[in-house]
Amino acid sequence: MYATGLRYGLGQVDGFDTRFDPRLSARANVLYLNDRFAEFNHNLELSLAAYNGGEGRMLRLHQRSGGKPFW
């Protein structure tokens, strides 16, 4: 997502969308997943679900469940 990419340092440079730069996008992905790990108490399933389904949605579901495991 463009807005998420901007949060992690990706954007337009000389007309090139840096989200398509493998090195820069991999670094941004690591930062993103580290933030999700911290947010979801190092739960891999929730972190990956947030990556795929949206971090806001997963955060709401996690808070509603009282922090119970996803499954």
Instruction: Report yes or no on whether pTM surpasses 0.95.
Output: no
Task: State pLDDT tens for residues 50-61.
Answer: 999 888 998 898
Q: For the chain, percent helix, then strand, then coil, each to nearest 5?
A: 65, 5, 30
> If you count DSSP H runs as helices and E runs as strands, how many of each does the chain have, helices first?
4, 2
Please count the other Cβ atoms lying within 10 Å of the Cβ belonging to residue 19: 17
> CA–CA separation, 45 vs 64, rounded Å?
17
* C-alpha neighbours within 13 Å on the C-beta side of residue 60: 4
Inter-residue contact 4 to 32 (CB < 8 Å): yes
Residue 70: pLDDT above 70?
no
Mean pLDDT of 19-34: 95
